[in-house]
Amino acid sequence: MTLRSRLVSLSWMCFLVSICQARRATDDKPNIVLIMADDLGIGDLGCYGNDTIRTPNIDLLAAEGVKLSQHISAASVCTPSRTAFLTGRYPIRSGMVSDVNSRVVHSLAVPAGLPLNETTFAAIAKKQGYSTAVIGKWHQGLNRRHRNDHLHHPYNYGFDYFYGMPFSLYEPCWPDPSRDAELAISRRLWICVQLLAVTAFTLTFGKLSRWLCVPCFVILFMVLFIFLLCCFWYFSYTSGLYWDCILMREEEITEQPMKAERAGSIMMKEAISFLERHREEPFLLFYSFLHVHVPCPTTEKFIGTSKHRLYGDNVQEMDFFVGKLLDAIDNLGLRNHTLIYFTSDHGGKLEARLGHVQIGGWNGIYKGGKGMGGWEGGIRVPGLFRWSGKLQAGKVIEEPTSLMDIFPTVAALTGGTVPQDRVIDGQNLMPLLHGAVQHSEHEFLFHYCGAYLHAARWNPKDSQAVWKVHYVTPVFQPPGAQGCYETKGCACSGERVMEHDPPLLFDLSRDPSESTPLTGDTEPLYNLVIETVANAVREHRKTILPVQLQLGKELNEDRIWLQPCCGVFPFCFCDKEGNTSNLGF
């Protein structure tokens, strides 16, 4: 063999080896799709026992993957729960909690937001060469000093792409029959203001240049009229619909106010487009549903399709979109190389009612719901993993796990490392999912309501028991109810909670609905459990460092100069999505 032939052969061998190494590296780093529903009750899904709402696509995800039966949120309301999910840390560590009634980012006009020194799973994945995106609900803040600084935009937390709602759905967002008329009025009124402003400027310039002889009061009257017109326009629209119910693509506002019923279709279109753009490289997609938070905006195609009115319709529409996302992954040939995870940020809201009709989620056999820091119904959520060919189909894991576990799990999957300069409360789930270990790494989990610790659970490594200790519980009203219906939500402190001394004790392995508290007379291990958990709580509190509360009164109040605007403030109406009636869904 000639020297030239040997060199050519050696080059081909090096090329083939490099391809194999690249393929091996790619196989070791799967694509990651994290799907989170909003306010979904664990009892709303067929795979968790519901037989009246149809969720075939989510149920198939459970059948083809691993189901976690004791998956726990770190908070029972949106903002702190999502903070813990993103960072792998109890939200009290980052200050994303409150010591007052408002326990979430209150609006887009507040400076509160996820501190920039926090590291998210997206930032870790990005360092490992992943393309990252969040599509849907953010609710971690937006602006800090002025309306366009976007200090708390997803871009600053490791996400390469964002499309969705920087705030959250709530009642003013839907329905909105007057939106189109107001858009038209806004455009015409803005033209009038511009003409008046140009006229006032021209008259002022002409008077100062002595080209025109115009009384000063005429110019002052015009300026005052413009000012009053702007004030009248702004204060006519005090509803959050105009200031919080917006959609953004990257850093541009595309709809203000948004058309909530079509947002789900546009979000799915954006998600599939992201998958198509990055099919040849590792990616992480956090698909954060607006479903099924009230007011449950639902397209006509699904209205009336369920047995549970609008809420059930909205759940079934969400399941439809999950199916579209799974189909896209399969059609792109990414099924065996993509880990998919599905969950909810916390339990369903019991107090979401229209008259006497329930329009919130169902939490199955579990007591309590959204906003209740300790009761299981507010914090036990679905947890489904599918990674075809890697994870055993149909497996059920009954060990305690947490939404905070996603952070270290993503770090392990992407080849990254978790920060060493802070406490990480989550645990890598891959050994448990693969079956390499049989027991959860969480011996203790702590359950907060705002800044207040309400309960803790203990999962002894040498026992099947899961002990739950409640130090504080909300006072339900009216008496005998199972929620806080009179106040439309439960409190974390003050007169609307009850402190327990001695604390309430339950064994969730025998009493998952927390119906009958154990006592020293009925449980031989009562004193041991109470003392052990109390010691764990004391040790845990030693690790909590004082930080500024982002959701406290100081930072979580509106500042008019922070309100986002797609035009010239206060004329902020726009619709840049155009005709999206034919989205293929």
Name the burial class of residue 333, with classes exposed (0-12), middle (13-18) and buried (19+) by CB atoms within 10 angstroms of its CB.
exposed
Per the CB < 8 A criterion, the answer to whether 564 and 144 are in contact is no
Residue 495 has a CB neighbour count (10 Å cut-off) of 7
Q: Burial level of 228, CB count in 10 A (0-12/13-18/19+)?
A: exposed
Comparing CA positions, the residue from 164, 168, 151 lying closest to residue 82 is 168
Catalytic residue (one of 47, 71, 78, 492)? 78
* Cα–Cα distance, 536 to 74 (Å, whole number): 17
Residue 459's CB: how many other CB atoms inside 10 A? 21
* Active-site entry in 47, 71, 106, 139: 139
Give, to the nearest 10 degrees, the angle between helix 78-87 and helix 406-414.
30
What residues does 21 pair with on adjacent strands?
none
Identify whether 30 is preceded by a cis peptide bond (ω within 30 of 0).
Answer: no
Is-catalytic flag, 442?
A: no
* Tokens standing for residue 169: 């759905």
DSSP line for 49-117: T-SSS--HHHHHHHHTSEEESSEE-S-SSHHHHHHHHHHSS-HHHHT---SSS--S---TTS-----TT
Distance CA 160, CA 156 (A): 9
Query: How far, in whole angstroms, is CA 100 from its chain's centroid?
Result: 21
Contacting residues for 152 by C-beta, under 8 A, at least 6 apart: 113, 114, 140, 141, 142, 143, 144
Distance between CA 353 and CA 267 in Å, rounded?
A: 27
φ, ψ for residue 346 (rounded to 5)?
A: -175, -170
Q: Which helix (H) or strand (E) holds 27?
A: helix 3-28
DSSP-derived secondary structure for 508-559? TTT-TT--S-B-TTT-TTHHHHHHHHHHHHHHHHHT------TTSTTTSS--
Contact present, 248 and 162 (Cβ < 8 Å): yes
Three-class secondary structure of residue 338 per DSSP: strand
Is 78 tagged catalytic? yes
Residue 90's contacts (CB-CB under 8 Å, 6 or more residues apart) are 74, 84, 404, 425, 446, 448, 544
Residue pair 76/39 in contact by the 8 Å Cβ criterion: no
Provide the annotated active-site residues: 78, 139
